[in-house]
Amino acid sequence: MAQDSAALAASDAPATELTDGFHLLIDALKLNGVETIYNVPGIPITDLGRYAQGEGLRVLSFRHEQSAGYAAAAAGFLTKKPGVCMTVSAPGFLNGLTALAHANVNCWPMILISGSSEREVVDLMKGDYEELDQLAIAKPLCKAAYRILHAEDIGIGVARAIRAAVTGRPGGVYLDVPGALLGQTMDAIEGRKSLIQVVDPAPAHFPGPDAVQRALTVMKEAKKPLIILGKGAAYAQADDQVRQLVETLGFPFLPMSMAKGLLPDTHPQCASAARSLVLKEADCVFLIGARLNWLLGHGKGKQWGEPHSKKFVQIDIDPKEMDSNQPIHAPLVGDIESCCTALLEGMGDAWTKPSVDWTGAVSAKVEGNVAKMASRLHNNSNPMDYHAALGVLKQAIADRPDAILVNEGANALDLTRSVVDIHKPRKRVDVGTWGIMGVGMGNAIAAAVETGCPVLAVEGDSAFGFCGMEVETICRYNLPICIVIMNNNGIYRGDDVNRSGGADPATTVFVPDSRYEMMMQAFGGVGVYARTPDELNRAVAEAMDGGKPTLINAVIDPAAGKESGNIGSLNPTSVVAEMRAKAKAQSQ
Ligand code: ADP
Ligand code: MG
C-alpha cells in the first residue's frame, strides 16, 4: 500500500529537467568565452564534439592529435585566451601531450581535455580499453592538471583550468575527463548554478615604484643600450605601449622571431641586420618578455662579447625568471602593459636618447647588411636557392602585411626568419622555444581560423612531413592557407650519401623530386610545381589573393642548405671536432 502511493506520487510530480556531463562541460566552456575546439573524435569524446558543435561551438576535427594540439597552442598565443584541444584517451592523450608541453614551454595558454578510462579500473590496473593514468603523466609536463569526477564539479574544474592557463605566466593545463563523467546526470537548474564564469582571469601585475626607478636609472647610465623584444611582449597585446616605450627610449631593438612585427622590421630602430654588432657591443640590455635561454646563448659567450659587464634590465611576469642565466640588475616583475606604462610615466618628458655614436653605428651596419642581402634575393638561379625563393616571399608579405607567416624547418626556418620582414604584431608563428618540427599545419590552421587573415606557411620538406596529412583538414574547412614547401629533397640538404656505400639512401635524404603538390590536389585544393622565382611568385599571388587552399612545391637546389641550419654548433659532432682541434693546437 505504502509502495503504491509512493509510486503514484512520483508519477504525479512534474519531471525534473536533467542535464548531463557532456552539456555541463560545453556550457562551462561557453560561459568562459571558449568558441573553438581543436579535436580528433573517438571514444569517449565523440559525442562531446557533436554536442558542442550542436551548441554553437566551432569544433574542428584534425587527422592527428598533435596537430590539433599545436593549433590550440597557437590559438592561445594569438588570442590571449586558452586554446582548447580535445582528444581520446591514452594514445590520443599522449599525442596531444607534446603540444601541451610545447604550449607550456612557450608560456602560451592552452587546455588539453582528454577522455579517460574509469578510475576504479585504471587505479587497480585491471586492463581497461586504453588504460593509462593520464593525470599523473600530464602533471610534470604542464602548469596545472585536474581531473573531474562528478558532474557537479565540472564548473569548478573548467574555472580552475581557465584561470591556471592565463594567469601570471601563461601555460598549458590538462583537464582529465573520465568517460563516465560525461554520462552522469543531475538536475539542470542545480547544474546551471554550479557553473562559474571566471572573473578577471589574468589580473594586471603592477611593478613597484622602486623597481621602475631602478630600471630607469640603469638605462639612463647606459652608453650603448639595446632592447630585446620576446614573444611574451607579442602575446601581451600591449602593442601601443610597447611601441611608445621603444620609440621614447630610442634604443636599437632586436625582435626575437615571434616578436617580429611588434614594431615593423623596417623600423629605423630595428637592429636585426646588425645582430652580431649590438649583442657584442651593448652595455645595457633591456629584455621585454624574452628569456635569456638557449635562443639567446644564455646571455654569454662569444656572441655577447664575453667577458662582458653588461647590465640587464628585464620585464617578466614571472619573478622566478630573474637571474635564471645572468644577474638581472633591474628586474621589473609585472605584466608588459603595466610595466611599459609605469616606465613611460617615470621617464616624463625629459628622457635623453642614446648618442648617435651608438645609434648611428648600428644604423650604418644595418644599411650595409640589408644592401648585401638585397642582391642575393634577386638571383635567378636554376634550380632556385633559398634566397631566390625568399625574395619572392618577402615581397608577398610586404604587399600583404595582414597575412600571417607560419614557418618551420631548419634552413627554411633560419633563412625565412632573417629575410622575410614582418610588419604587424603577431603575424609570425613558428617553432617556438623548443624548435619543434611538425607545428606548421596546426599553426597555419589556427592562424586562419582565429584571425580570418590569409596564411603563408613556409615549410621545410622534412618539417612538412610531420603534419602533411592536415592538408585534408585545410581543404575540408576551405581555409585561406598557402603552403610553400622548400623542397631540397631532404633534411638540411638533399645530396648526402650512405657512408657504407650500401643500397639504402643516406639517413637525411628523401625521394628526390617528390611531388608534394599532388597531396593538395588529392583533396581538391590547388597544387603547383614551381621551379623559378617567377612561377613561385605567380602561384603565391594567386593563392594569397584568391584564398583557396594551395600547396606550392618550390624546387630548391639539393645542395643548398647547411647542416642543422644556424644551430649546427649544437650537434655533438661539432663539439667533438672543436675539442679535437683545440687539443691538436695545444699539442703543437
Ligand atoms: P622569446 O623566445 O621570444 O625570447 P620567451 O618565450 O623566451 O620569448 O619569453 C617570453 C617571456 O614573456 C616569458 O618569460 C613569460 O613569462 C613572459 N610573459 C608572458 N606574458 C607576459 C605578460 N603579459 N607580461 C609580462 N611577461 C610576460
Ligand atoms: Mg629540406
Instruction: Pick from 104, 169, 272 the residue to mutate for probing ligand 1's pocket: most ligand atoms within 8 Å of its CB.
Output: 169
Under 8 Å between Cβ of 442 and 491: no
Question: Taking the CB of residue 12, how many other CB atoms lie within 10 A of it?
Answer: 7
The whole-number pLDDT of residue 13 equals 61
**Rounded Cα gap, residues 477 and 473, in angstroms:** 6
Would the CB of 318 count as within 6 Å of ligand 1?
Answer: yes
Alpha-carbon 147 to chain mean position: 26
Please identify, by atom number, the ligand 1 atom nearest to the C-alpha of residue 316. Answer: 26
Note the ligand closest to the C-alpha atom of 562: 2
Q: Among 270, 297, 245, which residue's Cα sits nearest to residue 362?
A: 270
**Rounded Cα gap, residues 224 and 252, in angstroms:** 9
The whole-number pLDDT of residue 8 equals 47
Would 18-194 and 209-364 be classified into the same CATH topology?
A: yes
Residue 8 corresponds to which amino acid? L
**Rounded Cα gap, residues 249 and 262, in angstroms:** 16
DSSP string, 40-67: ---TTTHHHHHHHHHTT-EEEE-SSHHH
The whole-number pLDDT of residue 134 equals 98
DSSP string, 303-364: GGTSS---EEEEEES-GGGTTSSS--SEEEES-HHHHHHHHHHHHTT-PPPPPHHHHHHHHH
Instruction: Pick from 102, 107, 226, 336 the residue to mutate for probing ligand 1's pocket: most ligand atoms within 8 Å of its CB.
Output: 107
Instruction: Pick from 287, 332, 336, 422 the residue to mutate for probing ligand 1's pocket: most ligand atoms within 8 Å of its CB.
Output: 336
Instruction: Pick from 318, 339, 407 the residue to mutate for probing ligand 1's pocket: most ligand atoms within 8 Å of its CB.
Output: 318
**Rounded Cα gap, residues 262 and 245, in angstroms:** 12
Cell numbers that stand for 427 in this block: 603575424
The whole-number pLDDT of residue 324 equals 98
> 420 CA to middle of ligand 1, Å?
23
Please identify, by atom number, the ligand 1 atom nearest to the C-alpha of residue 432. Answer: 2
Average pLDDT per run of 10 along the chain, which is 588 residues long? 48 79 98 98 98 98 98 99 98 98 98 96 93 97 98 98 98 98 98 98 98 98 98 98 98 98 98 98 98 97 96 98 98 98 95 98 97 90 92 98 98 97 98 97 98 98 98 98 97 93 96 97 98 97 98 95 84 78 81
> 331 CA to middle of ligand 1, Å?
14
Sequence-distant (≥ 6) Cβ neighbours of residue 135 within 8 angstroms: 116, 145, 146, 147, 174, 176
Residue 55 corresponds to which amino acid? E
Output the residue whose Cα is nearest ligand 1's atom 9. Answer: 290
DSSP 3-state assignment of 219? helix
- Does the pTM surpass 0.85? The reply is yes
| 8-state DSSP, 505 | P
Under 8 Å between Cβ of 286 and 225: yes
Cell numbers that stand for 129 in this block: 580499453
Under 8 Å between Cβ of 130 and 121: no
> 478 CA to middle of ligand 2, Å?
27
Ranges of each domain in the chain: 18-194, 209-364, 378-570
Cell numbers that stand for 507 in this block: 639517413
CA pseudo-torsion sign 543, 544, 549, 554: positive
Residue reference for cell 616606465: 343
**Rounded Cα gap, residues 552 and 532, in angstroms:** 12
If you classify domain 209-364 with CATH, what class do you get? alpha beta
> 231 CA to middle of ligand 1, Å?
6
Residue 49 corresponds to which amino acid? G
For the CA atoms of the chain, what is the radius of gyration? Answer: 27
DSSP string, 362-376: HHHHHHHHHHHHHHH
Note the ligand closest to the C-alpha atom of 464: 2
DSSP 3-state assignment of 447? helix
Output the residue whose Cα is nearest ligand 1's atom 20. Answer: 232
What residues are paired with 416 via a beta bridge? none
Would the CB of 161 count as within 6 Å of ligand 1?
Answer: no
The vertex-235 CA angle with 472 and 551, nearest 5°, equals 25
Q: Among 463, 522, 452, which residue's Cα sits nearest to residue 491?
A: 463
Question: Taking the CB of residue 151, how many other CB atoms lie within 10 A of it?
Answer: 25
**Rounded Cα gap, residues 248 and 375, in angstroms:** 34
Note the ligand closest to the C-alpha atom of 203: 1
**Rounded Cα gap, residues 371 and 495, in angstroms:** 31
Output the residue whose Cα is nearest ligand 1's atom 14. Answer: 291
**Rounded Cα gap, residues 226 and 560, in angstroms:** 34
> 461 CA to middle of ligand 2, Å?
5
**Rounded Cα gap, residues 178 and 79, in angstroms:** 29
Please identify, by atom number, the ligand 1 atom nearest to the C-alpha of residue 321. Answer: 14
Here the contacts of 348-356 (C-beta below 8 Å, separation 24 or greater) are: 351/248, 351/249, 351/250, 352/220, 353/249, 353/250, 354/222, 354/223, 354/224, 354/225, 354/250, 354/251, 355/223
Under 8 Å between Cβ of 416 and 390: yes
Would the CB of 496 count as within 6 Å of ligand 1?
Answer: no
Cell numbers that stand for 575 in this block: 663539439
Under 8 Å between Cβ of 406 and 440: yes
Would the CB of 377 count as within 6 Å of ligand 1?
Answer: no
Note the ligand closest to the C-alpha atom of 230: 1
Instruction: Pick from 257, 317, 431, 434 the residue to mutate for probing ligand 1's pocket: most ligand atoms within 8 Å of its CB.
Output: 317
Please identify, by atom number, the ligand 1 atom nearest to the C-alpha of residue 235. Answer: 20
Would the CB of 259 count as within 6 Å of ligand 1?
Answer: yes
Tell me the CA distances in angstroms from 371 to 305, 377, 388, 395, one per residue in order: 25, 10, 15, 15
Please identify, by atom number, the ligand 1 atom nearest to the C-alpha of residue 296. Answer: 4
Would the CB of 77 count as within 6 Å of ligand 1?
Answer: no
DSSP string, 512-559: TT--THHHHHHTTSEEEEE-SHHHHHHHHHHHHHH---EEEEEEB-TT
Alpha-carbon 227 to chain mean position: 22
Residue 291 corresponds to which amino acid? R
**Rounded Cα gap, residues 248 and 511, in angstroms:** 53
Alpha-carbon 129 to chain mean position: 33
Would the CB of 544 count as within 6 Å of ligand 1?
Answer: no
Would the CB of 92 count as within 6 Å of ligand 1?
Answer: no
Backbone angles phi, psi at 313, to 5 degrees: -115, 135
Residue 112 corresponds to which amino acid? L
Would the CB of 117 count as within 6 Å of ligand 1?
Answer: no
What CATH number was assigned to the domain covering residues 18-194? 3.40.50.970
Would the CB of 337 count as within 6 Å of ligand 1?
Answer: no
- Looking at domain 378-570, its CATH superfamily turns out to be Thiamin diphosphate (ThDP)-binding fold, Pyr/PP domains (3.40.50.970)
